[in-house]
Amino acid sequence: MEIGSGPLSRYHPQPSSQVHKVAMPPKQNVLTEFQTVIKEIFFPDEPFRAFRGQRSHTRFYLVLQAIFPILEWARSYNLQKFKGDLIAGLTIASLCVPQDIAYARLAHLEPQYGLYSSFVPPLIYAFMGSSRDIAIGPVAVVSLLIGTMVQNEIDPSNKLAYRRLVFTATFFAGVTQFALGLFRLGFLIDFLSHAAIVGFMAGAAITIGLQQLKGLLGITNFTKNTDIISVMHSVVGTVHHGWNWQTIVIGLSFLAFLLLTKYIAKKYPKLFWVSAIAPLTSVIVATFCVYITRADKEGVAIVNRIERGINPSSAHEIYWTGDLFLKGFKIGVVAGLIALTEAIAIGRTFAAVKDYNVDGNKEMVAMGTMNIVGSMTSCYVATGSFSRSAVNFMAGCNTAVANIVMSCVVLLTLELITRLFKYTPNAVLASIIIAAVFPLVDIPAAILLWKIDKFDFLACMGAFFGVVFKSVEIGLLIAVAISFAKILLQVTRPRTSVLGRLPGTLVYRNVEQYPNATTVSGIMIIRVDSAIYFSNSNYIKERILRWLSNEEEDLKINSQPRIKYLIVEMSPVTDIDTSGIHSFEELHKTLQNRDVKLVLANPGAIVTEKLHAAEFTKKIGEDMIFLTVADAIEMLSPRIKELL
């Protein structure tokens, strides 16, 4: 036996005791196969398992429990859990009230609409959501998205028409989310890659921060565009006549205070409450200072008026026909998908920490329902907020009752204390937004993307620069386009590799990864690392032939025996279609013309069944299909000796 040390060296293996043949899987009828495919696509979590063998009244209760998860966990609810939820609810309420007022301005809505959106949606989610930790309400990214997209259609100065389009978009955001959950299509949002989301969120955070320069610097005439060039032109162009120094002092002072509290909370996790109450504290102190100094008389812009009372009905304001109906549909679908992606990511993050499951489809139905109802009760798109959810988690929440407590506090705010916000300066609201979106710029995540996958980093940067230099919609489009491009690239150009035997074993691995792996004289082993479909079958055939041609050239130069058998290792090949089989038939014919025999190793059950159905196994010979590469080498090596 001749064993070398490099990937091109040759050896002759010793025979083992037994060689196994590849077995044909049990034959399935078409209906069973179709049912299996449908189940794996739409019902991988087997949602109907709990209904098996149950009585009709039990099944009815299980249906209600599936729709309203509160019926499940409420049975074990107790006073101890309520104490944790009460503290958490009060804590996130202190954070959400000032944030809601600020985010409403980001969406170009009056302040009360932000508070409305933290009253009704959290109540509905508490009954229908499956996450224990998500805090529901308006968020910065979705507020910006709604504000910019609706502003492109209707000028915010036309308050009624603008508001109606926002409610229409919110309705269709809810319909989109509800439909995805009802028809179990949640896997569609996974097409927006993590890398694209990192870039999009960072770009949105920068854009949101730049938009707040208007309130932070006291600028009156400010661009309606969101790109960085337009914003900086507005800022620099008004430096001598448009800035208000009192506003700047207020804004920068409270921004420094908010960032300091965030730093304290991050360094000392037990002091999370310092950061949580900082926005409300800032609003109270800033409002009091403006009131006693009457800084509003000196050009400091203030909130002025927040409508008192709970959510009025807005069902009659939704556009049901016409051009604005279609525009609302388009905006709603985009906003709904972004809101859903953010919420599910947040829910899964905290569920992993507490070791429980978040049902993605239930989340979609819950989010959709709350936004549909919200659109009819003067709310705009609400979703899970990362900052509030983190505070909720740190405050010790146990269930979604924390959302109910928060909602009750918002109700009291709407009914009793909205007048107290009259002198709240816009500068402090701007500082609250900047501090809130600051963590969305995740530089360590971007660095990690660069280290792991350069294409992922490209997707991240494409989304980031698209948002910052053009618009939120363009950035989102770039993010989706690059995500799909990566999928297409991986599907159409799968990896293939030459295998060699690890010394002292019967294991065959990539010779580039393991340079000491040895190859067999007269035999070449190639592994295909993908399912073989119409989109990649021709590439795989050509890549295999290119591997073979390169190897034969090297053998000819080194005066070594030519290749007689080409083994295709198929264990990573999860499926093959008719185009894939056709490409293998062409590969077989080409190899025959070159006096090389095609050998298959370890095809899976589905692949084996399809190869037999196409009678491809007869063309290459049943004796040319092996259970493992080692078995193939053992059987073929004696034949190679005879030929050499």
Dihedrals phi, psi of 223, to nearest 5 degrees: -60, 150
**Which pLDDT value is given to residue 5?**
41
**Which pLDDT value is given to residue 45?**
62
Q: Among residues 480, 495, 488, which one has the least CA distance to residue 535? A: 488
Residue by residue, DSSP assigns 428-479 as: HHHHHHHHHHGGG--HHHHHHHHHH-HHHHHHHHHHHHHHHHT-HHHHHHHH
Spans of the chain below 50 pLDDT = 1-9, 12, 15-17
Contact 307, 151 (CB under 8 A): no
Q: For residue 448, what are the contacts with CB-CB under 8 A and spacing of at least 6?
A: none
Q: Among residues 407, 599, 481, which one has the least CA distance to residue 193? A: 481
Model confidence pLDDT, tens digit, residues 534-582: 999 999 999 999 999 999 998 888 888 889 999 999 999 999 999 999 9
Contact 102, 432 (CB under 8 A): yes
Round to whole Å and give the CA distance between 161 and 163.
5
Model pTM above 0.85: no
Round to whole Å and give the CA distance between 270 and 277.
14
**Which pLDDT value is given to residue 546?**
95
Dihedrals phi, psi of 177, to nearest 5 degrees: -65, -45
**Residue 485 class from Cβ within 10 Å (0-12 exposed, 13-18 middle, 19+ buried)?**
middle
Distances (CA, A) of 580 to 198, 535, 571, 607, 627: 36, 9, 15, 10, 20
Round to whole Å and give the CA distance between 107 and 99.
12
Contact 237, 222 (CB under 8 A): no
Contact 620, 601 (CB under 8 A): no
**Which pLDDT value is given to residue 565?**
94
DSSP state, 576? B
